[in-house]
Each structure stands twice: as structure tokens, then as C-alpha cells.
Amino acid sequence: MGKKFTAITVGLLLAAGAAQAAAPTAKTPRGQQVYEIVRKWAPHVQEVYGVEPMDWAGQMASTFAGADLAALSAAAQARTFDEMSERLLSRQPTTLEYNQAMAANPTPDALGDAATDLVFVPVTPCRIIDTRVAGGVIPANSTRDFDITDVTDYAFQGGAATNCNVGAAGSFAAAMINFIVVTPSTAGYITAYPFQASQPLAATVNYVAGDIRGNLSVVKLDQGAAASEMSVYTFAQTHLVADIVGYFINPAATNLDCVSTSVASFSIAANTVNFFNNPACPAGYRATTPYCWTAASGVYAQGSGYNANSPGSPTFCSWQNTTGSNQTTFGGNVCCRVPGR
């Protein structure tokens, strides 16, 4: 049987070699682990599943080739066939795979980024632009600039004579706007983009001659000192109507909102060591700092922390009473929350 297993192992390793820089042998760490797995479990596979060892070897070649050394080593030491299979199929990502995954997915460092982690504020749809009322038709192959943020009255752009419930919010990073082109002269498109930015190769609304067509779009806005924040290019001469339905404001750092619980008293028996859970935090708050205090001589603090074994993981104070009588200790919590906007 030794020769048979050796032949199987060599065949496996040669097959696995397609995924390696050089085909391993039974003397390499990979080859030795594969040999141990095959030597141990090929008879089991033949007896229980009726699969010839050589056939099983061929079926497992790609698995052995793809498994990392840690998984192979763990599989070789497994005491049951199911445990061997589970360990063999579990592996850590390679450095290349890890780097690729990190590049393709956001990291915790990206949270709170002023350019990407914006907060959407919906508003009742409100007209902010109507060139039929003010400004006149936009000529073909031209751009017109518009004021979107911190406006008290949009009537100068043909819009509502109000701030549309966004003017008082001040500067914001982007807006969700429903654009409508009205009776363009020929087929074409409009493109809305940040004021003073390069015009992107994109269309906000595509239209044909004489169309009345709309499209809901999110437009990034210029946040500089200029009054205008958005530009709109049109290929053909057209009127433009725009209704704002919401806007995106930059994230704002907020201070923790913290409160202190009441102070509770606890009696610790003579010559004992004990701990006491501190008062619970109000709903919506979490304990952040326990405080422990006593005026009794001969009573010593043994530490404090979170009691993970109790619902809500309250904080606790631990004490040692070295006196011959009961003594009183005190405990409380500082509780905090992250306030909403």
C-alpha cells in the first residue's frame, strides 16, 4: 500500500503543481501535508463512499493546490473525516487577495469623510428654476449658471418666492433635483454639474425636438464663495424647469451627550471580596465610565469594568472588606450617547 499511496501522492502533487511556481514533492512542506492526508483518509473514502483512491486523488487535486499551508497542516492533524474536510476548505486570504479586497471595499477610515459621508434631507418638492418665467430660453450649445444654496427667494430664477425650506440650511454639498426640458429646438441633451467644474461627458436629460421631458438627478454642487453652485449645459436651445426634492449636507462632528446616574449604596459583608453592578443608564444611553467610592477604612477597591454576564453589560465596582463588620460602598455610571442631527 505504501507504493500505491506514494504514486497517488505524486500524481496529486503534479496536478497541484499547476497552481504553484514549481511542482512540489513529498519532501516539501506542502507535499508532506498532502501525503499525510491521502495516506490517512484514502482507505476511509474507499470503504465508506466506494471511491477508488486514485479517483479521489484526482477529484481533490485542485483543492489541495488551492489550500494554504496552514489549512493543509490543520487538515492533516484532523481526527475525523468531516473535521479534515472542514479544515481543508477553510483558509486565510493571501496578501494579494487581502489587498484587492481592501481596495475594492470601504474601510472604517472612510466613515465620516466630508466628501462622501453626506446626510440626505428630503424636502417638499419646490420650484427653484423656470426659464419661461425668468432668464429666458437657454441658447444652443451654451451654459447657464444657477444659485441653489442659501437662497431666501427663488423668484429671480423663475422659481417659488420662498426659500423652499433649504435656504436657511446654508451651504450643502449636493442636491436632488427633478430637471424638465421644455420644447427644445432639436434633439439633444442637458448636463448639470458643479459650477466652475469641467463639464462631464454625461447627460442629465436626453430629449428630442419639441419634447417636455424630465429626469430626477443628484448633482454635486460647488461649495466655494461664488453665488452660483450649479451649471447646466444644453446642446439645443431649450427652456428649463427644475424642482428640488432634497439636499445633501456635509457630516458634522457632534459632541457626546452624557449624563450621570444616581449613586447607589451597597453593603459588603465583613472580611469578604465582592462586586456590585452600578445603576443602569437611561434608555438610549450606554455606560462609559463607572465610578466607585467609599469612606470606610479597611475597604479597598479591587477594580471596575463591564459585567458582560448581565443584561445590558452594566459597569461594576469590586471591593475587598478587610474589617470585621459590614461596610458601605457606593457606585454610579457616566452614560453617553451620540446625538442625532
pLDDT confidence of residue 271: 94
Distances (CA, A) of 86 to 72, 75, 76, 82: 11, 8, 11, 6
Q: What is the pLDDT of residues 225-273, one digit of tens each?
A: 888 999 999 999 999 999 999 998 877 777 889 999 999 999 999 999 9
119-249 CATH pick, 3.30.70, 1.10.10, 3.30.450, 2.60.120: 2.60.120
Answer positive or negative: Cα dihedral of 318, 322, 325, 330: negative
Edge-first strand order for the sheet with 212-220 is: 119-130, 239-249, 174-182, 212-220
> Mean pLDDT throughout 277-301?
90
* Domain residue limits, the chain: 2-96, 119-249, 257-337
314 contacts 277 by C-beta, under 8 angstroms: yes
Report DSSP letters for 100-153, one per residue: HHHHHS--GGGTT-TTT--EEEEEEEEEEEETTTTT-PBPTTEEEEE--SS-S-
First to last CA, the chain: 73
Q: What is the pLDDT of residues 242-252, one digit of tens each?
A: 999 999 887 77
Separation between Cα atoms, residue 144 and residue 158, nearest integer Å: 14
Q: What is the pLDDT of residues 135-174, one digit of tens each?
A: 999 999 999 999 999 899 999 999 999 999 886 555 688 9
Q: What is the pLDDT of residues 294-304, one digit of tens each?
A: 999 999 998 88
Q: What is the pLDDT of residues 59-109, one digit of tens each?
A: 777 777 777 777 778 788 878 877 777 676 655 445 554 455 445 554 544
Q: What is the pLDDT of residues 185-200, one digit of tens each?
A: 999 999 999 998 999 9
Separation between Cα atoms, residue 68 and residue 46, nearest integer Å: 26
Round the average pLDDT of the chain to a whole number and report it.
81
Residues whose CB is less than 8 angstroms from the CB of residue 241 and which lie 6 or more positions away in sequence, other chains included: 127, 129, 130, 131, 132, 158, 179, 180, 182, 214
pTM of the model: 0.50
- Count of positions (residues) in the chain: 341
